[in-house]
Amino acid sequence: MSHTKEPWEVDHRECDGVRYFVMLGTDGKTIMDTMNSESQEIHEDFDENGFRDQWDEQGKLDLNRAAKCVNACAGINPEAVPDLLAVCKLVLPQMEIALAARIKLTGVTTGGLANKVAALKSAINKAEGGL
């Protein structure tokens, strides 16, 4: 048996006037929901007609993050991700040395290797929670 096929998406359901969030598989069936979450954070607002709107903001954030993680790992063994990040961090200094040598030799600061070094730095930063 394996997990539900990607992509997963987040939707909501109403219960007692509060919007709770659900994770749905490609077949539209609920994988999980925030109805019984102990980390609920109910927010409230009123629309332009004065109708009250309530929703579980923490549940919405949590399920959106979970769906993004699952969908991003479609076709990838998630247990390999820490190894991939470690290898990227191991290779980056070597690529930077090669780039510095190329710049010293040719004076060229742009192009293929420079772009690859920049992309690798950006990917590592993003993986570690940067922007």
Going from N- to C-terminal start, the domains of the chain cover 9-72, 78-127
The tokens for 82 are: 């820490």
Give tens-digit pLDDT for 79-131. 898 999 999 999 999 999 999 999 999 988 888 899 999 999 999 999 888 76
Instruction: Give the per-residue pLDDT at 2.
Output: 80
Place of tokens 């710049």: 103
If phi over 0 gives left and psi between -120 and 50 gives alpha, with beta otherwise, what is residue 116? Answer: alpha
CA distance 86 to 47: 48
CA distance 75 to 88: 20
